[in-house]
Structure 1
């Protein structure tokens, strides 16, 4: 059986706020650890029927980057759910929600830029 390892290194400041996130995977073609400003990792605990999550972002993650990250994550989650279930109607609903979420973010940004 083949084994793959993913290593995540998080450097934190004195208040335990992430300064940097780097990750490396044995199956990656990259030679060096890759930098990231945010991460979301979820594990399914079938015994407790609960999702266990690690959500981290660095202090230099901008709000527009967070919105992009969530939009892309929601779209990817919809695709994953579709491959697992074949429920195209729910995939469409999830993607519609993601698009509306992103449009609302953009409108909020325009409103704040006009006010500021």
Structure 2
């Protein structure tokens, strides 16, 4: 059986606000820790039937990039949901909402 590890390193200031976030993976071609400005981690707790979440962003994360990050996260959640469930109709609804979100947040849809 193959194993892979993902390591997250968060540097905090005196008020416990993230100053920097880096991640690395044993499966990545590049073995260096890569810097990021924001992250969302969601885990499903089967025993308690609920989601465990960690959402972090650095204090220098630009608001326009945060809007784009949320937009792209919503889009990729739709991709994942479609692969996991095959529910095409609701994913189309989510795509419609993503377009609405992008319009309201003035995000160009690439």
Root-mean-square deviation (Å): 1.0
Q: Secondary structure in 2 aligned to 1:54?
A: strand
Number of paired residues?
Answer: 107
| Unaligned ranges ≥5, structure 2 | none
Alignment of 1:1-116 (within 5 A): 1-106=1-106
| Unaligned ranges ≥5, structure 1 | 108-116
The structure carrying a bigger helix percent of its residues is 1
Q: Secondary structure in 2 aligned to 1:101?
A: helix
Alignment partners' CA distance in 2, 1:36 and 1:99: 25
Cα distance per residue 1:1-53 (max 9 Å; x no partner): 11100000000101000000000000011121000000000000011110100
TM-score by length of 1: 0.89
Runs of 4+ in structure 1 deviating by more than 3 angstroms, as ranges, are none
TM-score by length of 2: 0.94
